[in-house]
């Protein structure tokens, strides 16, 4: 039983962080209808920012979040004005291939600067500590802190989008860019803001992740894929959708744990011999496939 | 131009070989040329320097009389049965590249006319170089490549002194059996039920998946219950679901084959998940790297890893201590896994030549196949050297063995590796069970 409870809890915890990873993608898509293939690379940059700031300044990785947010915001805005703005003039294919190119560029740039080896944070106030809550739930302190901060960041973005004038302007741009322009909303700046907020939220997620995941220049693709699955599940452009879908995907990545639970409960030898952990991400893509086939606009989607 | 020169060299080489084929009378040999191919530049250059120094020291001992050392080659000046002929080493650099290695082997055989080859550290390079040697019928002795497949090709001109991964995995099971029989220093006999359940997690490239298969085979053979056997990508950024799965199996013994960063991540995650198996064992590689110790610090106290040579051997084996002193005088460093095995590789060459009494390949082949060097003449902690001449492991030394070391916190507060297996050379009481993180 404790295997089951432990897995559910671990899935929810990682799900909260994955939701934040997907948030940036859904904002950018919601506002501009652009699918950012370089999203995972933004995360990778966030991870390196957290790692290097922590090591360079000798501070705990948790305190590097403001730096990561600033880097992510700037990165998003620079990408928008330096690159994406021009892509918008082209056809849809150009936008897809354009962000794909951005992904390759950022990845290889990271490879050039940081080298291909894995790097990880090995010290910090929370690193390596964990609480045994009982019932098989063991909570690594870094994951708990990351999940908590992730929820806070989510709430912040949600408030920004729903309770402020800027958020309303963003939503208006998302709904009808031309109409918004007639109403005097500077849509160009709104687009840049979407990229900035999207970039900042994903680099924050990166700086949180680096507390317990190692980073290398190739890590981005995995997260791009996961973020796509979350966004598809939650609905393109939906912020609460991204949160709930994040939790669902978090639980899905723990399927090997459930499998273990059932194989020990039934004492089924053939089940124990299935290498489920090797396929842990496969189920995420299966879910992605199913949702795209059955309900293309996702659980909370509103964009057609 | 370079290509031109190469072609000419090849032509000359070929002519020279033809010249050799012409019947000549038996002449006294003055020096014996051994071609030595190691990674002297590139990523493994540090290991290459060690290997070279180890082989050079062995040649020096063979060429001079050093009566203090209790080994055959130290008693004679040169190879006695060949009229005191000196050993001459010709070093070549393979840069970690199998193609360059094969080229160097051809040059050594055709241009330098070496009597035999020693090398090449990298299993991949040893593979191509030994194929060249097989083609030309030139004997090759390999001292430090551990891919099991090298001696499974039925080569007639290839001998390997070092034990390989199959032996190392077997050692682990011998240790487990030893635990149940009370053979381990400082540990009373453990009931088998207490260490009955095993779980393994190995990285999924050729090396790790091979080790995983070996663990499955040996678990069956030795009657242990392998509850879980995982493969994972060494580049994984997160191993928490793997670790939870290992934990869920309630295994008493956890076995790993990991490279450096994943070994560190694995132990960190075990730590965070509060896993408490009674034994944690790593198959060398990541578990033996300095980074592993430096990054994880005191938390690795009690973790086991297999290895081939530890500085502790020097304290237990007198000969190893004497050779280590000579080595240290020349290089400033202690003998390590690479240098000790390179030393042993060349020592084997000298013993083979001594026994053959000739530099003719056929005589060397016959001598190698019937060679026996007792363990007391070796710096490495093996029972000796004796090559398999039949079966599916042609040319493999059957008397080699690995070491299993355990990280223990010494009196000086530093974490170091102590020998716990083989039992007769153990340097400290084993920590059992693993105390947890």
For residue range A182-234, list pLDDT tens digits in order. Answer: 888 888 888 999 999 999 999 999 999 988 888 888 889 889 989 989 988 88
Is B241 within 8 Å of A216 when comparing Cβ atoms? no
Q: What is the average pLDDT value for chain B, to the nearest integer?
A: 86
* Residues facing A139 on adjacent strands: A131
What are B252's two structure tokens?
Answer: 């008493």
Q: Is the residue at B437 inside a domain?
A: no
Determine phi and psi for B296, rounding to 5 degrees: -90, -15
Identify which of A129, A253, A260 has the shortest CB distance to residue B245. Answer: A260
Q: Looking at the predicted structure, is the pLDDT value of residue A300 above 70?
A: yes
**Mean pLDDT calculated for residue range B276-290:** 83
Q: How far apart are CA A56 and CA A65, in angstroms?
A: 14
State the smallest CA–CA distance between residue B247 and chain A in angstroms. Answer: 9
What do you get for the CA distance between the two ends of chain A, in Å? 43
Q: Is the residue at B23 inside a domain?
A: no
- Report pLDDT digits (tens) over A103-127: 999 999 998 998 777 788 877 777 7
Close Cβ partners of A49 (under 8 Å, ≥ 6 residues apart): A64, A67, A68, A71, A72, A203, A206, A207
**Mean pLDDT calculated for residue range B77-106:** 93
Is A257 within 8 Å of B241 when comparing Cβ atoms? yes
Q: Is the residue at B297 inside a domain?
A: yes
Nearest residue to A189 (alpha-carbon basis) of A173, A203, A205, A213: A173
Q: How far apart are CA A61 and CA A206, in angstroms?
A: 11
ipTM reported for the complex, 2 dp: 0.79
| Chain B contact for A219 (CB, 8 A cutoff) | yes
Which residues in chain B have their CB less than 8 angstroms from residue A136's CB?
none
B121 and B179 both lie in a single domain: no
Q: How far apart are CA B365 and CA B359, in angstroms?
A: 10
Q: Which residue of chain A has the CA closest to B250?
A: A264
Which residues in chain A have their CB less than 8 angstroms from residue B229's CB?
273, 275
Q: How far apart are CA B172 and CA B281, in angstroms?
A: 8
B219 and B363 both lie in a single domain: no
For residue B54, the enclosing domain spans 31-163+316-385
To which H or E segment does residue B198 belong? strand B197-203
Which residues in chain A have their CB less than 8 angstroms from residue B248's CB?
3, 257, 260-261, 264
What's B211's domain CATH number?
A: 3.40.50.2300
Beta strands B116-119; B140-142: pairing state:
parallel
- What SS3 class is residue B30? coil
Q: Is the residue at B218 inside a domain?
A: yes
Q: Is the residue at B25 inside a domain?
A: no
To which H or E segment does residue B178 belong? helix B165-180
Q: Looking at the predicted structure, is the pLDDT value of residue B312 above 90?
A: no
Q: Which residue of chain A has the CA closest to B271?
A: A128
What are A106's two structure tokens?
Answer: 């950022």
pLDDT at site B184: 86
B347 and B297 both lie in a single domain: no
Close Cβ partners of A89 (under 8 Å, ≥ 6 residues apart): none
| Chain A contact for B270 (CB, 8 A cutoff) | no
- Report pLDDT digits (tens) over A268-297: 778 777 778 888 888 888 988 888 888 888
Do residues B139 and B133 touch, judged by C-beta distance below 8 A?
Answer: yes
Which ranges constitute the DSSP H helices of chain A? Answer: 2-32, 39-57, 65-79, 85-87, 92-114, 141-163, 165-175, 177-182, 187-209, 220-234, 239-253, 255-265, 269-272, 282-294
Q: How far apart are CA A31 and CA A193, in angstroms?
A: 10
User: ∠ CA(B16), CA(B18), CA(B24), 5° rounding?
Assistant: 95
Q: Is the residue at B15 inside a domain?
A: no
To which H or E segment does residue B304 belong? strand B304-307
User: ∠ CA(B227), CA(B230), CA(B236), 5° rounding?
Assistant: 150
Is A10 within 8 Å of B244 when comparing Cβ atoms? yes
What are B120's two structure tokens?
Answer: 């090449």
Q: Is the residue at B219 inside a domain?
A: yes
- What SS3 class is residue B247? helix
Identify which of B227, B265, B273 has the shortest CB distance to residue A120. Answer: B265
B69 and B151 both lie in a single domain: yes
Do residues A245 and A11 touch, judged by C-beta distance below 8 A?
Answer: no
What are A80's two structure tokens?
Answer: 């928008």
B248 and B215 both lie in a single domain: yes
Determine phi and psi for A281, rounding to 5 degrees: -85, -15
Q: Which residue of chain B has the CA closest to A141?
A: B272
B421 and B288 both lie in a single domain: yes
Which ranges constitute the DSSP H helices of B273-360? Answer: 290-296, 311-316, 318-331, 337-356
- Report pLDDT digits (tens) over A129-154: 778 777 777 888 888 888 999 999 88
B136 and B238 both lie in a single domain: no
B199 and B289 both lie in a single domain: yes
State the smallest CA–CA distance between residue A215 and chain B in angstroms. Answer: 7
To which H or E segment does residue B213 belong? helix B206-222
- Report pLDDT digits (tens) over B110-158: 999 999 999 998 888 999 999 999 999 999 999 988 888 899 999 999 9
Q: What is the average pLDDT value for chain A, to the nearest integer?
A: 87
Identify which of B230, B242, B272 has the shortest CB distance to residue A128. Answer: B272
Into how many domains does chain B fold?
A: 2
B281 and B249 both lie in a single domain: yes
Is B240 within 8 Å of A10 when comparing Cβ atoms? yes
What are B72's two structure tokens?
Answer: 């055959």
Is A256 within 8 Å of B237 when comparing Cβ atoms? no
Q: Is the residue at B191 inside a domain?
A: yes
Beta strands B304-307; B403-409: pairing state:
antiparallel
Q: Which residue of chain A has the CA closest to B275?
A: A138
């Amino acid at each position: 039983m404790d295997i089951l409870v432990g897995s559910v809890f671990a899935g929810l915890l990682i799900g909260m962080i994955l939701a934040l990873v997907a948030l940036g993608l859904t904002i950018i898509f919601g506002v501009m209808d652009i699918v950012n293939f370089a999203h995972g690379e933004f995360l990778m940059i966030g991870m390196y920012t957290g790692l290097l700031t922590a090591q360079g300044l000798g501070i705990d990785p948790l305190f590097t979040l403001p730096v990561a947010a600033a880097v992510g915001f700037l990165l998003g805005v620079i990408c928008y004005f330096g690159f994406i703005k021009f892509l918008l003039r082209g056809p849809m294919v150009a936008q897809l291939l354009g962000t794909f190119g951005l992904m390759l560029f950022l990845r290889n740039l990271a490879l050039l600067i940081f080298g291909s080896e894995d790097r990880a944070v090995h010290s910090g106030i929370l690193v390596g500590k964990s609480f045994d809550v009982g019932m098989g739930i063991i909570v690594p302190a870094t994951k708990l802190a990351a999940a908590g901060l992730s929820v806070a960041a989510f709430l912040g973005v949600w408030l920004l989008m729903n309770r402020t004038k800027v958020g309303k302007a963003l939503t208006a741009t998302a709904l009808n860019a031309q109409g918004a322009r007639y109403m005097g909303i500077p849509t160009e700046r709104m687009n840049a803001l979407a990229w900035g907020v999207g970039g900042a939220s994903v680099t924050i997620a990166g700086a949180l992740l680096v507390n317990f995941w190692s980073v290398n220049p190739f890590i981005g693709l995995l997260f791009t894929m996961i973020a796509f699955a979350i966004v598809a599940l939650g609905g393109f452009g939906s912020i609460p959708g991204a949160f709930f879908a994040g939790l669902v995907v978090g639980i899905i990545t723990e399927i090997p744990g459930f499998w273990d639970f059932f194989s020990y409960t039934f004492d089924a030898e053939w089940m124990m011999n299935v290498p489920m952990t090797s396929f842990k991400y496969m189920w995420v893509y299966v879910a992605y496939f199913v949702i795209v086939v059955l309900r293309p606009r996702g659980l909370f989607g509103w964009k057609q | 131009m370079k290509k031109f020169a190469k072609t000419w060299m090849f032509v000359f080489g070929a002519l020279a070989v033809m010249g050799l084929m012409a019947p000549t009378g038996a002449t006294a040999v003055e020096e014996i040329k051994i071609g030595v191919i190691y990674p002297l530049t590139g990523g493994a250059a540090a290991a290459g320097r060690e290997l070279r120094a180890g082989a050079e020291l062995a040649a020096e001992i063979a060429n001079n009389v050093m009566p203090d050392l209790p080994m055959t080659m130290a008693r004679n000046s040169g190879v006695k049965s060949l009229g005191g002929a000196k050993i001459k080493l010709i070093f070549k650099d393979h840069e970690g590249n199998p193609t360059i290695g094969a080229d160097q082997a051809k040059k050594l055989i055709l241009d330098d006319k070496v009597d035999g080859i020693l090398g090449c550290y990298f299993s991949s390079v040893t593979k191509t170089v030994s194929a060249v040697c097989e083609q030309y019928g030139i004997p090759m002795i390999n001292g430090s490549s551990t891919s099991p497949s090298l001696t499974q090709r039925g080569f007639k001109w290839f001998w390997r002194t070092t034990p390989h991964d199959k032996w190392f995995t077997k050692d682990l099971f011998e240790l487990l059996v030893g635990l149940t029989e009370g053979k381990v220093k400082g540990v009373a006999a453990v009931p088998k039920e207490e260490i009955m359940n095993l779980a393994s997690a190995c990285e999924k490239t050729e090396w790790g998946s091979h080790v995983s298969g070996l663990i499955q085979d040996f678990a069956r053979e030795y009657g242990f219950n392998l509850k879980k056997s995982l493969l994972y990508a060494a580049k994984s950024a997160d191993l928490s679901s793997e670790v939870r799965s290992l934990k869920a199996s309630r295994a008493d013994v956890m076995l790993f084959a990991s490279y450096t960063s994943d070994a560190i991540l694995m132990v960190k995650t075990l730590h965070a998940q509060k896993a408490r198996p009674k034994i944690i064992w790593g198959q060398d590689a990541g578990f033996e790297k300095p980074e592993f110790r430096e990054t994880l610090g005191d938390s690795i106290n009690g973790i086991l890893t297999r290895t081939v040579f530890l500085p502790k051997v020097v304290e237990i084996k007198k000969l190893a201590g004497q050779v280590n002193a000579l080595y240290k005088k020349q290089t400033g460093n202690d003998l390590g896994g690479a240098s000790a095995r390179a030393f042993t590789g060349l020592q084997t060459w000298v013993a083979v030549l001594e026994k053959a009494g000739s530099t003719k390949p056929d005589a060397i082949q016959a001598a190698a196949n019937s060679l026996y060097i007792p363990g007391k003449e070796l710096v490495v902690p093996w029972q000796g050297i004796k090559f398999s001449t039949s079966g599916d492991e042609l040319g493999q030394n059957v008397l080699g063995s690995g070491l299993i070391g355990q990280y223990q916190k010494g009196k000086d507060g530093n974490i170091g590796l102590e020998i716990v297996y083989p039992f007769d050379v153990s340097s400290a009481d084993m920590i059992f069970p693993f105390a947890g993180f």
